[in-house]
Amino acid sequence: MHARPSGDELSAQPWRDVPREEARWMRPHLPALVDSMVEGVLRHVPEYARPDDPVYLDVMRVAAEQGMGHFVQMIADPDASWQEVHQVFFDIGYGEAVEGRSLEHLQNALRIASRTAWRYLSREADRLQKPRELAISLAEVNFAYLDLLASAAAQGYARAREKAAGEREQRRGRLLSLLLSQPPAPRDIVAEQATLAGWPLPERLAVIVLSPRPGSGGEGPAGLPPTLLSGLDRGRPCLVVPDPDRPGGTDRLTATLAGWTGAVGPAVPVDQAGVSLHWAHRALDLMAAGRLGHAPGRKAAKGRPRPGVLVHADRHLPDLLLQEGWTLAEAAARRRLAPLTALGPHRGGRLALTLLELLRHGFNATDAAEALCVHPQTVRYRLAQLHEVFDHDIEDPALRLELMLLLPVWLRDAGQEPA
């Protein structure tokens, strides 16, 4: 005989407090009891009423048979194994998640089945004139047993959800690799992987590359919306933004990327995602080196970037284009701007800055003077000097773009930063 359990054990395993011989009169009623449980679930849980799905009905019946068979066995032998019945309900919970149903329906079905079982057994106990204390004990056993079965089902449900989330992240990671690959992956393969990943393939996208952040473990921002694909490229967190041209564009990510420093590549068709990635990296490289000038209509940010700055590559075309052909630009600057070099770094640098502002302001001396913080007459005097030292017309429209590109290169080589 087993020793009588303590009060704490009674609350956790109340079947130990039911005399073992009570299992004998319960066993013959199991078939009818299972029928009642299945009927009750089908009547009260419409989500489980599937007259055209006999397999599903069989699963319900097996669950009821296994559950009630083990219930009675636990009364006859409180040390009987839980492994088989636990696995049955674990698998049921797992299946509910796989089929995309809420756990609420399963929990409701378990409550209905449990209540049906208790009422059936209580009526039979009354008919057999069992002590009233037995009905009370059976109620306690019923509730405790229900909790254990519901827990097993919840564990299976959670496991399936975890597995699905892991598989989805793997598929999204694979999709990101395909999108950013060079040469581009075939579109049909990308489309298939996008479907598997549950990521609607847009017409256009942009790639954001971020500077690794101390304390982030090399990972990107947390709490990203599911519309974004995220991963790592060359040790930097990167994000793929669908439809960046829609209202708000990448600016709608301001709150999400607060505190992160990065660069946004140009918006491109899906099969050119690698192009957007390339220019985002290049812009971030220049930004990190303090060599990215100001975007049109925005003030220049000299030196290395402050945390939380997000620059757009397509707003810094001159800097990026020059960086790609920097050696050619240096050689061209030395030749085209040799008269400034001959004047020395001080005088030549002053005239170079003046010429750059004049070019930016359409040779309007007043506007250029305001940008340089000098008197307009000073600008006019320097412009006269510039005309004297150059043997070509510096106001020729055909030369303006070339001079605007080469002057920042010359100034940097001379150790001066353009404004």
Structure tokens at 396: 């020729």
pLDDT at res. 223:
81
Model confidence at 51, in pLDDT bands (50, 70, 90)? low
**pLDDT greater at residue 299 or residue 352:** 352
Q: Is the pLDDT of residue 10 over 50?
A: no
The lowest-confidence range among 89-98, 150-159, 237-246, 314-323 is 314-323
- Kindly report the average pLDDT of the chain as a whole number: 85
Going by pLDDT thresholds of 50, 70 and 90, the confidence category of residue 303 is: very low
> In this predicted structure, what is the pLDDT of residue 224?
87
Mean of pLDDT values over 346-357: 92
pTM reported for the whole predicted model: 0.58
